[in-house]
């Protein structure tokens, strides 16, 4: 099963197995990371699933939508590797992807 490496806000890394069909947000939420609120449930209407993606995987991700870009614009913690976890489907070619949960706005 493909693995996602999650870095929490304290800097601790945890590898989690990700089932087919889940997004990065769902994988993090379903594995008990309370820091990632995911308030909208994955419909791209908040930004509480903001993560920083390992730059080595950036080219393997789907393009950012205008809605995602607009939501990330409101974050004080956005950088060039910011994505909303709900907008990143976890596929087998993302095995080993490392994401860091963004600081809360």
Which domain does 51 fall in, by range? 3-101
What is the C-alpha separation between 24 and 91, in angstroms, rounded? 9
For residue 43, what pLDDT is reported? 93
Domain count, the chain: 1
pTM: 0.95
For residue 26, what pLDDT is reported? 97
CATH of the domain at 40: 3.10.20.30
Per residue of the chain (105 residues), give pLDDT as tens.
999 999 999 999 999 999 989 999 999 999 999 999 999 999 999 999 999 999 999 999 999 999 999 999 999 999 999 999 999 999 999 999 999 999 998
């Amino acid at each position: 099963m493909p693995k996602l490496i999650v870095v929490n806000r304290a800097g601790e890394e945890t590898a989690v197995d990700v089932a087919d069909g889940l997004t990065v947000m769902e994988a993090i939420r379903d594995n008990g990371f309370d820091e990632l609120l995911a308030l909208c449930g994955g419909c791209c209407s908040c930004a509480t699933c903001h993560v920083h993606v390992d730059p080595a995987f950036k080219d393997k991700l789907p393009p950012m939508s205008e809605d995602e870009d607009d939501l990330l614009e409101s974050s004080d913690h956005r950088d060039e590797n910011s994505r909303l976890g709900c907008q990143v489907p976890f596929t087998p070619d993302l095995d080993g992807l490392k994401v860091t949960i963004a600081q809360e706005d």
